[in-house]
Amino acid sequence: MIAGIDIGSTSTKVVLLDNGCILCKMRVLASDAVTAAAGALGKLDTEKGYKIQSIDGIAITGAGASKIHQDIFDIPTVKIEEIMAIGHGGKFLSKRDDIIIANIGTGTPFIEVNQNGIAHIGGTGVGGGTIIGLAKALIKTSDFNTIMDLASKGDLSRVDLMIKDIADTDISFLAKDMTASNFAKMLESATREDIAMAIINMVYQVIGMLSVFVAQSRNKDSIIVTGNGNNNAIGRNVLGSISEMYGIHFEFPEDAEFSTAIGAVLAASSA
Ligand SMILES: Nc1ncnc2c1ncn2[C@@H]1O[C@H](COP(=O)(O)OP(=O)(O)OP(=O)(O)O)[C@@H](O)[C@H]1O
Ligand SMILES: [Mg+2]
């Protein structure tokens, strides 16, 4: 059994794989990398009954992996570059080997996988962390579930300037109820609900449009979405609207939150 530990900027994900089969997956929140990695293995033992001694190897990745300099609990530990881990994970979850991945975590890198290997295309600092940070500043909460709950009751057109606010007809292929400018209307009467909705909408519109341009630049018509940002239901709807307008399809594989951790194990095994 090999454990994959992805020490991300927001949370640590751990998976246990045996011959390409996922035995177990968990999420741990910890303030520093070493505590997160040790805590992740401890949780596998205490909560899932997988003894630490039965783990044959550990593959660590994510930004926090750079802070770990020795084997964890004396188990052979290898470090996998995060881009490689994201690429391998996306390939495994999508069951395809010629793909573009948008990994929506705290930030959002784009990764290309094809017969030439795995490459980092670039990305944006706009991601899940942007939602949490802006919500903290603008609507005084950084709790993810509260933000989602507020947003589900929000009205985007009270914050964003919409196409219908500036034109009497659709503009080109942009429908009247699309955003013309994020946050540009910002009514005095806009509520926390409206602002929560506008924050999530803006983050996913930015990621969605970058995805479109990345896909078009590579002659692709789909993007695999991984990272915890895969699980944002409102974000998925925003990507859905972009998909309708631009003909780029977004795929949301299961277990995408654990994609990087899974990919670390697969990258270690294929090395
Ligand atoms: N319960 C949840 N369901 C869905 N998304 C969540 C949940 N909790 C937090 N998020 C979102 O997921 C984001 C973090 O995603 P993820 O855990 O993939 O990032 P990370 O791996 O720690 O960061 P990075 O890969 O950028 O270093 C948070 O910023 C938040 O927007
Ligand atoms: Mg991550």
Whether residues 104 and 237 share a domain: the answer is yes
pTM above 0.85, yes or no: yes
Whether residues 41 and 110 share a domain: the answer is no
Establish if 71 belongs to a structural domain. yes
> Which atom from ligand 1 is nearest to the alpha carbon of 104?
18
Of 7, 106, 225, 260, the one to substitute when testing ligand 1's pocket (max ligand atoms within 8 A of C-beta) is: 106
As a whole number of angstroms, the distance between CA 17 and CA 255 comes to 13
Q: What is the pLDDT of residues 78-135, one digit of tens each?
A: 999 999 999 999 999 999 999 999 999 999 999 999 999 999 999 999 999 999 999 9
Whether residues 241 and 157 share a domain: the answer is yes
What pairs with residue 181 in β-bridges?
161
Our measurement of the distance from residue 226's CA atom to the centroid of its chain's CA atoms, rounded to an integer in Å, reads 5
Whether residues 120 and 59 share a domain: the answer is no
Q: What is the pLDDT of residues 142-154, one digit of tens each?
A: 999 999 999 999 9
pLDDT of 20: 86
Residues with CB under 5 A from ligand 2 (ion): 8, 105, 260
Q: Is 48 or 235 the better-scoring residue by pLDDT?
A: 235
Establish if 31 belongs to a structural domain. yes
Establish if 90 belongs to a structural domain. no
Establish if 241 belongs to a structural domain. yes
Whether residues 174 and 99 share a domain: the answer is yes
Phi, psi of 170 (to 5 degrees): -60, 150
Residue 75 domain boundaries? 2-79
